[in-house]
């Protein structure tokens, strides 16, 4: 029996749920897509008339929301009602790393997924396809299925007829290019057992994705492929960053090494840019999941191998703060340092696991005063990330940052660099590539340094203004 899909419900209006559902609504005008969330504020933001104030900034997203919202794309807090109406439910809730209990620091906390499964079990009617969309540890489908199955027994007693199928359909979107990735994915992965349910989900994607890009696997392969995909990408970054440290010692240049190895078609050129270390909500979490899973199944060598990728990343972030201190005569106490970029990469306002957090915390601990600029990140978010005055609600967000003793936020790059001993580039924002260094140099305290941890500045232009220049993977010679 083939399932007919009319109504889609997505639980969780976050970085994954929001953009993914917007694109599905855009590509499938015949389907009704409801995105629900327990967070009322977030839903209000999604329904904001001012499209510049959606909760997530993604190039191309506001245009789609403008086209589809109110037509076949709806954001609400009506979780029960929308679950009831749905033929297919996507679970896109948060799955942070556990902070306590078994697996703390490595395993994902599944309490939000579990709560969702219970809600689905309680309210769904008829046949419902439940799709794991959030990145989840392998065998989570089993957890969801057992919760749904236990509700079936209960339903039988109450003569309520509802049946379920669980599919894994991990998201590979990358922040900043989410809409592009969704519109033109390298592949769509669907893991499951019931071919009718797999076909029903596949039919949605077939509205814009060619058939040969839709890969069908068993549910465990799909879950594991997602974790492995992120682990491989992160591993490339740790690999190239480890070599950047060696370049600085030997006189080699990481950009030249990257280009040379990337031209080997077996290696390929993508994800070989050295930087301040990988951030984002997925890489660290997914690798630690893999580590936990390997330990759990008695494979310590496999666990150690992957844990090394995260360890190298942590070491690399601290390496950068240490070398800044070293070049500023071994102390940054009472020195001002300008930080350019706080998001974990360009074109997003997301700061989760951003290397800027680790590096700024190190510098604050060393006694520096930080002047921070980022074109998209809200200073309130920086306050939370640096954990200063976070509890103090008497300040507005802008006041809060200026009230901090350790740092201040500046919208203007030139004002941000005024009177500082060093400028540190941590995010590769486009606007940082065209800075007038002549102007900045005049307002900095000498001797002054520019640290380029993203390799985006023109070293000649910076150095010609009399500033000392250090670039990741090249050093300062």
Q: Which residues bind ligand UDX (CB under 6 A)?
A: 171-175, 230, 233, 237, 271-273, 275, 278-280, 282-283, 344-345
Give the three-state DSSP class for 338: strand
Closer residue to ligand ADP in complex, CB, 13/204:
13
Taking the complex as a whole, how short is the minimal distance between the CB of residue 322 and ligand ADP, in angstroms?
31
Q: Are strands 73-76 and 32-36 parallel, antiparallel or unpaired?
A: parallel
Binding residue (CB under 6 A) for ligand ADP from 97, 115, 216, 384 = 115
Binding residue (CB under 6 A) for ligand ADP from 42, 69, 319, 410 = 42
Residue 107 contacts residue 139 (beta carbons within 8 Å): no
Closer residue to ligand ADP in complex, CB, 77/463:
77
**Whose CA is closest to 94, among 140, 136, 58?**
136
Q: Which does 204 bind (CB under 5 to 8 A by kind): ligand UDX, ligand ADP, none?
A: none
Alpha carbon distances (Å) from 306 to 26, 58, 83, 136, 224: 38, 31, 38, 17, 14
Q: Are strands 407-409 and 32-36 parallel, antiparallel or unpaired?
A: unpaired
Q: 135-153 in b/e burial notation, b at 16+ Cβ within 10 A?
A: bbbbebbebbbebbeebee
* Contact partners, residue 334, CB within 8 Å, separation at least 6: 367, 368, 369
Taking the complex as a whole, how short is the minimal distance between the CB of residue 434 and ligand ADP, in angstroms?
31
Which residue number has the CB closest to ligand ADP? 14
In the sheet with 214-217, reading across from the earlier edge strand, the strands are 73-76, 32-36, 7-11, 88-91, 126-132, 162-168, 188-191, 214-217
As to burial, measured by CB atoms within 10 angstroms (0-12 exposed, 13-18 middle, 19+ buried), residue 41 is: exposed
Tokens 């967000």, residue located:
397
Site for ligand ADP contains 227 (CB under 6 A): no
Q: Token pair of 374, please? A: 């980022």
Q: Token pair of 309, please? A: 């990728």
Query: Is omega for the bond preceding 447 within 30 degrees of 0, making it cis?
Result: yes
Binding residue (CB under 6 A) for ligand ADP from 6, 29, 39, 146 = 39
Q: Based on the residue annotation, tell me whether 28 is a catalytic residue of this protein.
A: no
Site for ligand ADP contains 38 (CB under 6 A): yes
DSSP bridge pairs for 475:
471
Q: Which does 279 bind (CB under 5 to 8 A by kind): ligand ADP, ligand UDX, none?
A: ligand UDX
Give, as ranges, the residues between 53 and 82 that touch ligand ADP (CB under 6 A). 79
φ, ψ at 166 (rounded to 5°): -110, 130
Closer residue to ligand ADP in complex, CB, 20/274:
20
**Whose CA is closest to 141, among 165, 122, 120, 119?**
165
Site for ligand ADP contains 116 (CB under 6 A): yes
Site for ligand ADP contains 112 (CB under 6 A): yes
**Whose CA is closest to 338, among 316, 314, 356?**
356
Site for ligand ADP contains 20 (CB under 6 A): no
Give, as ranges, the residues between 267 and 296 that touch ligand ADP (CB under 6 A). 281
Closer residue to ligand ADP in complex, CB, 173/426:
173
Site for ligand ADP contains 423 (CB under 6 A): no
Q: Which does 175 bind (CB under 5 to 8 A by kind): ligand UDX, ligand ADP, none?
A: ligand UDX
H/E run at residue 37: none
Closer residue to ligand UDX in complex, CB, 86/282:
282
* x/- track of binding to ligand ADP for residues 296-325 (CB under 6 A): ------------------------------
Taking the complex as a whole, how short is the minimal distance between the CB of residue 75 and ligand ADP, in angstroms?
11
Taking the complex as a whole, how short is the minimal distance between the CB of residue 202 and ligand UDX, in angstroms?
20
Which spans of this chain sit near ligand ADP (rule: CB under 6 A)?
11-17, 37-39, 42, 79, 92-94, 112, 115-116, 134, 281
- Active site positions, annotated: 282
């Amino acid at each position: 029996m083939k399932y007919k899909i009319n109504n889609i419900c997505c639980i969780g209006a976050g970085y994954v749920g929001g953009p993914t559902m917007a694109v599905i609504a855009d590509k499938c005008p015949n389907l009704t897509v409801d995105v629900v969330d327990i967070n009322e504020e977030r839903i209000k933001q999604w329904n904001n008339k001012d499209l510049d104030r959606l909760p997530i900034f993604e190039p191309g997203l506001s245009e789609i929301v403008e086209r589809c919202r109110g037509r076949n794309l709806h954001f609400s807090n009506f979780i029960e009602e929308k679950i009831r109406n749905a033929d297919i439910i996507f679970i896109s809730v948060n799955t942070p790393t556990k902070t306590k209990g078994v697996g703390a620091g490595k395993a994902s906390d599944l309490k939000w997924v579990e709560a969702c499964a219970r809600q689905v079990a309680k309210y769904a009617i008829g046949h419902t396809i439940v799709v794991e969309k959030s990145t989840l540890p392998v065998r989570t489908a089993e957890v969801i299925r057992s919760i749904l199955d236990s509700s079936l027994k209960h339903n039988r007693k109450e003569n309520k007829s509802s049946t379920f199928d669980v599919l894994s359909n991990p998201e590979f979107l990358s922040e900043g290019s989410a809409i592009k990735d969704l519109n033109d994915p390298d592949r769509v992965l669907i893991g499951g057992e019931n071919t009718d349910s797999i076909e029903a989900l596949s039919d949605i994607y077939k509205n814009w994705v060619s058939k040969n890009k839709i890969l069908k696997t068993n549910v465990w392969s799909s879950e594991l492929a997602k974790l492995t995909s992120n682990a491989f990408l992160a591993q490339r970054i740790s690999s190239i960053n480890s070599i950047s440290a060696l370049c600085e010692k030997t006189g080699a240049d990481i950009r030249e090494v990257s280009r040379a190895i990337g031209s080997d078609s077996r290696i390929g050129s993508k994800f070989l840019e050295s930087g301040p270390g990988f951030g984002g909500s997925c890489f660290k979490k997914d690798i630690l999941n893999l580590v936990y899973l390997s330990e759990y199944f008695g494979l310590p060598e496999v666990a150690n191998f992957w844990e090394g990728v995260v360890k190298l990343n942590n070491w690399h972030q601290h390496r950068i703060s240490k070398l800044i201190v070293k070049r500023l005569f071994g102390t940054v106490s009472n020195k001002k340092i300008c930080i350019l970029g706080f998001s974990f990469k360009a074109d997003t306002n997301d700061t989760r696991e951003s290397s800027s957090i680790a590096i700024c915390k190190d510098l604050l601990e060393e006694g520096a005063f930080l002047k921070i600029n980022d074109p998209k990140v809200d200073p309130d978010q920086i306050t939370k990330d640096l954990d200063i005055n976070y509890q103090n609600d008497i300040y507005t967000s802008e006041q809060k940052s200026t009230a901090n003793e350790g740092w201040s936020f500046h919208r203007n790059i030139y004002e941000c660099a005024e009177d500082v001993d060093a400028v540190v580039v941590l995010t590769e924002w486009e606007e940082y590539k065209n800075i007038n260094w002549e102007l900045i140099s005049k307002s900095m305290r000498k001797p002054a340094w520019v640290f380029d941890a993203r390799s985006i500045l023109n070293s000649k232009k910076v150095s010609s203004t009399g500033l000392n220049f250090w670039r990741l993977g090249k050093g300062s010679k």
